[in-house]
Amino acid sequence: MLPHRLPAWTRAQFPDGFVAMCDEQPSGVRLRLRTAARRLVLHVRTWRVATLPHAAPAPGERFEAVVGGRVVGSAVCERFGVQTFDPGAATTVSGPAPVGAVAFALPDAGGAPVDVEVWLPYRERTVLVAVEADAPVLPPAAVDAPRWVHHGSSISHGANADAPTGTWPAVAARTAGVDLVNLGLSGNAVLDPFVARAVRDQPADVISLKLGINVVNHDLMRRRAFLPAVHGFLDTVREGHPATPVVVVSPVLCPLVEDVPGPTSIDPDVAETRFRTAGRAEEVAEGKLSLRVIRDDLAALVAARRAAGDTALTYVDGRTLYGEADAAALPMADLLHPDAAAQRRMGERFATVLRAVAAPPVAAPPVRRRTP
């Protein structure tokens, strides 16, 4: 079984292999089951990404077992294949992957079955081959928590987090007690209509959209196109969620492109992964987008829509999650992505936002879903 984070119908509209790779990377995806087992083993095939021009595969990422909200086990699959990603061509090539085992020693619950959640690595394509346990495996209890659907960029996908429960959306969800659906797509939060329709069609009690940084990174739009595209994205989401709380989140602080446009790319002249921009500050006056321009426009857009009656729409300045003081204390080593400690800090801060927008009387009762 290969988990996909976007619906099957969207794949015909993927523009390139980069989107397909992100769709298959299971950020926020959990395997849920109920068991009295003390030993649980997942047999899986995983692919670690090797990004050109540096062709070495990324270090192995963790699987984590959670019981009663607590991480009780962590393991890396030592056998893996390699998926080579060319960011310039937006293509991937995957080699063969052997079956490996990820084993967890679960706590003794006195022989009573408990619900177990296994969080998959946020950036490794993972195929589940078999589940092995020393006690029967049963369907879990249905989730009974507000359902949070989030869409964002590589930072939302989890870039530089040290664990699947350490991505900022996972930290926020676990802290606030909500059920996460993470549609963070590395490099691909660019207001694609098929993503808007996917969000529209998801059951949700809270929706958040972290927008802007990838539009700058790709130098994808000018200011003239950006705001209408955001309006269209929101209009599509509202077709399925006319009264659901929606939070628009602007980019976190990124000094590289605060006042300079993209495009950004990996610097081939340094040994470690570090980003650079080809944009020039004077191009902003010509209509190119910097993060400062995007924040101003998003704040104004949300204010205008709220004034027009969309009172369930909220704006959050991304710099309240990671700002000047955070950049000084926890700088971005690659100049584009916060580190693991900053990911956790962002999640803890956003949990406050979730609690506020998901609290009655704004939010409808939590979506009740049957467990497959």
pLDDT single digits (tens) 307-319? 899 999 999 999 9
pLDDT single digits (tens) 46-73? 999 999 887 789 999 999 999 999 999 9
Burial zone of 201 (CB within 10 Å; 0-12 exposed, 13-18 middle, 19+ buried): middle
Tell whether 89 and 173 lie within a shared domain: no
Tell whether 208 and 332 lie within a shared domain: yes
Residue 365 included in any domain: no
Encoded tokens for 345: 């800090």
Residue 85 included in any domain: yes
Tell whether 127 and 159 lie within a shared domain: no
The domain in which residue 125 lies consists of 8-138
pTM of the predicted model, to two decimals? 0.94
Q: Residue 349: which CATH number? A: 3.40.50.1110
- 8 A C-beta contact, residue 182 and residue 220: no
Tell whether 166 and 262 lie within a shared domain: yes
Residue 364 included in any domain: no
Tell me which residue of 121, 158, 139, 142 sits closest to 45, measured CA to CA.
Answer: 121
pLDDT value, residue 361:
41
Number of domains in the chain: 2
Encoded tokens for 138: 């049963």
pLDDT value, residue 370:
45
What residues are paired with 82 via a beta bridge?
48
CA distances from 133 to 65, 104, 139 (A): 13, 10, 14
Give mean pLDDT in consecutive 10-residue pieces for the chain, a chain of 372 residues. 98 98 98 97 97 87 97 97 95 97 94 96 98 96 95 97 98 97 98 98 97 97 96 98 98 98 92 92 97 98 93 97 98 96 98 87 45 42
Report the distance separating Cα 314 and Cα 316, nearest Å: 7
pLDDT single digits (tens) 89-118? 999 999 999 999 999 999 998 889 999 999
Residue 3 included in any domain: no
Among residues 138, 164, 179, the one where a domain terminates is: 138
Report the distance separating Cα 72 and Cα 187, nearest Å: 32
Encoded tokens for 18: 């980069």
pLDDT value, residue 359:
65
pLDDT value, residue 291:
98
Q: Residue 70: which CATH number? A: 2.60.120.260
Tell whether 133 and 160 lie within a shared domain: no
Encoded tokens for 44: 């899986």
Report the distance separating Cα 218 and Cα 364, nearest Å: 37
Tell whether 258 and 117 lie within a shared domain: no
